[in-house]
Each structure stands twice: as C-alpha cells, then as structure tokens.
Amino acid sequence: MSRVGKDAVKLDSKLSSYDANETGVSVTVSHVMGEKAGTTTTHTGDVLIAADGIHSMVKKTCPKPQVLLPSVSSDFCCQVRKSFYGDEKPSFTGWIIWRGAMPIERWPADIPLEDVVTYGHSDAYMAWYPFRKDESGKETLVNWGACIKQGEQGDVAESWAQAGNKEEIGAHFGSWPEPCNHIVQNTDKIMKLSIHDRDPVKQWAFGRVLLIGDAAHPMLPFAGQGASSAMEDGMLLAQRLSETPSDVVSALKKVEEERIEHVTKVTVHCRNRGGILEEFVVVDKLKENSDEELKTLLDSKGVEHSDCTDTTSLLLKVLNCKDAWPESFLRKLY
C-alpha cells in the first residue's frame, strides 16, 4: 500500500463485466453504496488478475477447461469429480466447522493458554490459539474452531458466513473438558461453515486474464494452505511480470505452468486429509487394536503403546515420533 497508494484500492466495486483482447483489458464495476450508488465505473489496464474467491465472477465466464488429474500416485488421490468453471457444483464433504474469536481477557485464569492446542478424536475436535497482537506485541484474541464429521446429507447449502448457534455447538461439545465450552460461551460472534469441495482444474491463464488464489485452486481448510498458496501465486506473478513487462500474456502463462502441478498436489492433500488429524487416527487405531502394521511401526521406534486407555499421553508419544513416519504410511491413514 505504501508503494501504490491507498487510492489503488477501490471499495464498493462489484464486477459487472469485463473485456480482454490483444491490446488490454477493461473492467466495469457497479456501486451500491454512497454517492455512487446505482452507477458504474470502467477501469482499463494490461491484465486482469481474478483474486475474487471461490465464487469468482471472472472464473464463471472463462472457457471450459478439462479437469486436471493430479500427477500423484493413485493410492493418494481420491476420484476427481467432473466439474467445470461455468457450471461448477461443489460437493458437501460432511464436515461442519464452527469458528470464532474470543477476547483474550475472557480466557479462564486457571488454564494455561498455549500457542496451539488441538483436542478431540478423528470425527470431532476443537483447536484454539492466541493471535492478533496489539501495538505492545500482546495477543488480543483467541481464535478457535470446532469440527465435526456429520457425513453425507444430500444437498447442504454452502456458506462461510452463516451465524453459528451456541446450543447446537453445545450438543456436540458441551460435555467436553474445559475450556471447550467456556470458549464457545464467551465468544460474541460465531460462524458456521458447511465445508464443500471443488476439483482442481487445468487452466488458470486466459490471455490477459489470470485466476489466482481460491478462484484458481480452492482448498479444503484442513491443512492451513489456502492463504499461503494464494500469497505464493502473487509473489510469482510479480516476478514474472517484472521479467517480461512487454509480454504479459506469456508472464501469466508462466505462472500457471510453474504453479499448477504443485498447487494441485496440495489441493488433493487437503482433500485426502479430510479434516482428520493423523495423530487422532493413530490413537484411534491403537485403542481399537485394529492395525498390526501401526503397532509394529511404533515398536520399531521404541514407542510404548501397550496401555492405550490414556488418550492424551498416548497422543504425546505419537506426536514425538511423527516426523519419522514414512510417507507411504501417512497415505494409508487417509
């Protein structure tokens, strides 16, 4: 912002239409607030970067590319559904997530606030951590999420902003140890997310138009890679445009070519992770005494697991050897 100036950001500007040709692009936006309400404004430029999210208006008007089948092993990649840009139909994953941010001064004084805490099992868990520092460097909020696997239930409306209900959360997490219920009850605004999935696709660059971030590669939120992947898109885009400012079409195509395979693998990893933390899967398998390969693997690493009734201590043991797990075994967990 310090380099381009605050006037470079235009609020209250909803995309109405755009045109891209050999000489440049033009974008028409509509205004619904303030003095400009009911009017439109047209902007011109060299490229159109569509970073307008999973419901991208630009994406819906792009030609229909074929679905990209990721170049990863078949045992790691679940079946990719057929969907295209214009008529893309996301699929409900069965996962529900409630999210909120509690003022840190409401944290119970008798419970230590750790950097990151995850509590639960493979079908339901809560996680929380402090964030958003003030001018003095102290965190001001506790960000949290509560996740449950409800299973496939037919058509479920996709939403990232539906209001959450504390009583509904309590039905699933109310009996859990504190501070689980305390966090929920002391949060003023809660969102309910019905997690839907979209397929990776083959094409991001369309002449002078480039899709990036969620518009290009929406990811399930189970590995924390969505925002960082979008930032990587932006960094590479800036580099390629600076290298060939007179050939922006080639620059946009290079971004697609250099990013698409890697990002697709990350997208598929988020899908296969499916909200399940591998640590919880390991503990569940041990408690069920259902996986001889897992027990043999832990034995080889000197992890004592004969007493599987104490989930917390067992989870700590599993975490301590997690970095040494072979990738083939991690794939099996999913």
- Note the pLDDT of residue 235: 96
Number of separate domains in the chain: 4
Least confident of 83-87, 102-106, 108-112: 83-87
Statement to judge: residues 185 and 110 lie in one domain: yes
Local structure of residue 91 (DSSP, 8 states): E
Statement to judge: residues 205 and 176 lie in one domain: no
Statement to judge: residues 67 and 125 lie in one domain: no
The residue-averaged pLDDT of 115-136 equals: 84
Statement to judge: residues 146 and 243 lie in one domain: no
Statement to judge: residues 214 and 295 lie in one domain: no
In 3D space, the residue among 17, 29, 31, 83 whose CA is nearest the CA of residue 54 turns out to be 83
Statement to judge: residues 102 and 123 lie in one domain: yes
- Note the pLDDT of residue 168: 93
Statement to judge: residues 177 and 106 lie in one domain: yes
Assign residue 54 the CATH number of its domain.
3.50.50.60
- Note the pLDDT of residue 307: 54
In the numeric block, which tokens belong to residue 69?
A: 């089948």
In 3D space, the residue among 136, 149, 175 whose CA is nearest the CA of residue 274 turns out to be 149
In 3D space, the residue among 310, 323, 220, 313 whose CA is nearest the CA of residue 278 turns out to be 323
Last residue of a domain, one of 173, 197, 221: 197
CA distance 256 to 216: 10
Cβ atoms 77, 148 nearer than 8 A: no
Beta-strand runs (E) in the chain: 14-20, 25-30, 40-45, 48-50, 91-103, 117-121, 124-133, 139-149, 159-163, 190-197, 205-206, 209-211
CA distance 85 to 67: 10
Assign residue 144 the CATH number of its domain.
3.30.9.30
Last residue of a domain, one of 241, 273, 305: 273
- Note the pLDDT of residue 304: 64
Statement to judge: residues 40 and 56 lie in one domain: no
What's the domain range around 324? 278-333
Q: Out of 92-96, 248-252, 273-277, 292-296, give the one with best mean pLDDT.
A: 248-252
Categorize the per-residue pLDDT at 125 as very low, low, confident or very high, splitting at 50, 70 and 90.
confident
- The mean pLDDT value of the chain amounts to 79
Q: How far is CA 104 from CA 28, 177, 191, 192, in A?
A: 43, 19, 18, 21
Q: How far is CA 193 from CA 39, 49, 208, in A?
A: 34, 27, 34
Element (DSSP H or E) covering residue 32 = none
Q: What is the pLDDT of residues 258-303, one digit of tens each?
A: 999 889 888 887 887 665 555 555 555 555 655 666 667 667 766 6
Statement to judge: residues 206 and 77 lie in one domain: yes
Statement to judge: residues 164 and 261 lie in one domain: no
Categorize the per-residue pLDDT at 60 as very low, low, confident or very high, splitting at 50, 70 and 90.
confident
Q: How far is CA 241 from CA 46, 49, 71, 115, 213, in A?
A: 11, 12, 28, 38, 17
Q: Out of 111-115, 276-280, 310-314, give the one with best mean pLDDT.
A: 111-115
Statement to judge: residues 267 and 219 lie in one domain: yes
Statement to judge: residues 158 and 20 lie in one domain: no
pLDDT at position 76 over 50: no
